Amino acid sequence: MSLLDRHVGFVHALREAGLPVSLAEGLDAARALQVIDLAERESLRAAYASTLVKRPSHRPGFDTLFDLWFPASTTGLSGSRTEGPEGPGGSEGDPDALDLETAEVPQLRDRLAELLLGADGMNEFARAMVERFGRQTAGPGRQNWFSYSVLRALSPETLMARLLAEVLAGRERGGLAEKVARQRIGENTRRFEDAVSTDVRRRIAEDSGIERIARSAVRPPLEQLDFLRVTKADLARLRREVHPLARRLATRLTVKHRLGHRGRLDFRRTVRASLSSGGVPLTVFNKPRRPHRPELVILCDTSDSVASFAHFTLLLTYALREQFAKVRAFGFVDTVDEITRFFVPGADVAEAMTRLAAEADMVRFGRTNYGNAFERFAERYGDAVGPKTSLLILGDARSNYQRPALETLRRLSEEARHVYWLNPEPMSQWDTGDSLATAYGEVVPMHECRNVVQLAAFVEELA
């Protein structure tokens, strides 16, 4: 493949993965290739990144694809070639270097332990280990590559205890030193796992073509992640994203308020000002607009199936507290409890979530029951909903075939100024199984809300 073909293919793959690469940006990248040293792989990566990737959330996908289209050119077994970030590492010029091809597993684990403490040569080592442990024959002349078999053979996570003992060297456990060491070793373990899976992808691409693997290898950027498919790690990243997102939204909202509809004519001021121009009102003054700040009541399904969605949305609304006159939150599984108290200003986010799950009284039998939850809510907290209130319901409308209590919901929605329902399920799955999406949707307008992009758009409409 010539460089030009490779460049075109790579840009195309980026677009397929959802990065908005314009024609001009593609040309910029091509021009950048003319002025940098193409043999420097990390420079090449940085050149592409700075011309094509204009959002941090697109970077992980970019890196995965870059590693596929511009793979490192060693297997790691035969004399290691040094690479940009690794510096002179590996086994070159080292007389008692380990022969990675024949060494026993315990020795390999020793080497891995060194790497996890920050020695150089992680990438070469990962490649060599994939070569040794990652291959599985899939039939005559065909082979498959797996990262789990590499990680199982070396099991980096079981090295933690040993490494901690080594680093702390007799200092007390459980304190600051251990925390710092853990952080560092954990970070390096993740790097090793990434290096292994990158190399596995590279080998699969060699066998079966880049395009095929590229499609399945890239996870969508954070803001397009499906709420119902987030992993624990994603949730932590999402939580970190809440404050910046809230800040961005808040800025947008204030701009909107400033630009939108000027207030009513300030008659008195206009006439007074006209005196200086002989009674001709040259400048017209308007009264400042009263910002409309709705009271927000959130009624949210906190059962496991939609927990991450509920959590994220609650966090976001609380980060946006200033945009609303008052925010009250209620959680339910099959009965309702007020959870506003867990979100006092300045409270610790992660802790609020754990306490919420432990202390709030939202579960009687443990299976989601929308009908019962609505009825309990109406009788216990009915006064929370009034003519100034926007009521926001979060949930997948799956009620385990119980009574829907549509009447109660209709009464609530008549009391409130606005009612919205956000459903994290894709619209194609509404009404399947025990989903009552349409039935509820006839009473309360239901919006599909599967990712941060959709949620942000909705919040902007709401405030």
Residues that bind another protein (CB under 8 A): 20, 22, 24-25, 28, 31-32, 35-37, 40, 42-43, 45-47, 49-51, 53-54, 56, 59, 84-85, 118, 174-177, 179-180, 183-184, 187, 236, 239-240, 243-244, 247-248, 251-252, 255, 346-350
Closest separation in Å from C-beta 80 to another protein: 19
Closest separation in Å from C-beta 229 to another protein: 22
CA distance 120 to 195: 13
Please report where in the chains the tokens 């050149």 appear, as a residue: 47
Closest separation in Å from C-beta 168 to another protein: 12
Residue number with CB closer to another protein (109 or 191) = 191
Please report where in the chains the tokens 């919901």 appear, as a residue: 409
Q: Are 422 and 458 in contact (CB under 8 A)?
A: yes
Residue number with CB closer to another protein (341 or 380) = 341
Length of the chain: 463
Q: Are strands 446-448 and 326-332 parallel, antiparallel or unpaired?
A: unpaired
CA distance 462 to 293: 10
Residue number with CB closer to another protein (103 or 177) = 177
CA distance 400 to 434: 6
Closest separation in Å from C-beta 440 to another protein: 34
Residue number with CB closer to another protein (175 or 382) = 175
Residue number with CB closer to another protein (63 or 193) = 63
Closest separation in Å from C-beta 55 to another protein: 8
Closest separation in Å from C-beta 59 to another protein: 7
Hey, is 146 helix, strand or coil?
coil
Residue number with CB closer to another protein (118 or 445) = 118
Q: CA angle 65-85-163, nearest 5°?
A: 100
Residue number with CB closer to another protein (138 or 350) = 350
Residue number with CB closer to another protein (25 or 193) = 25
DSSP string, 80-125: PPPBTTTBS-TTTT-TT---TTT--HHHHHHHHHHHHTT-S-HHHH
Burial 320-346 (b: 16+ CB within 10 A, else e): beebbeebbbbbbbbbbbbbbebbeee
Closest separation in Å from C-beta 7 to another protein: 16
Closest separation in Å from C-beta 39 to another protein: 12
C-alpha distances in Å from residue 80, one per residue of 73, 105, 117: 10, 20, 20
Tokens standing for residue 237: 């990243």
Q: Calculate the CA 391 to chain-centre distance.
A: 26
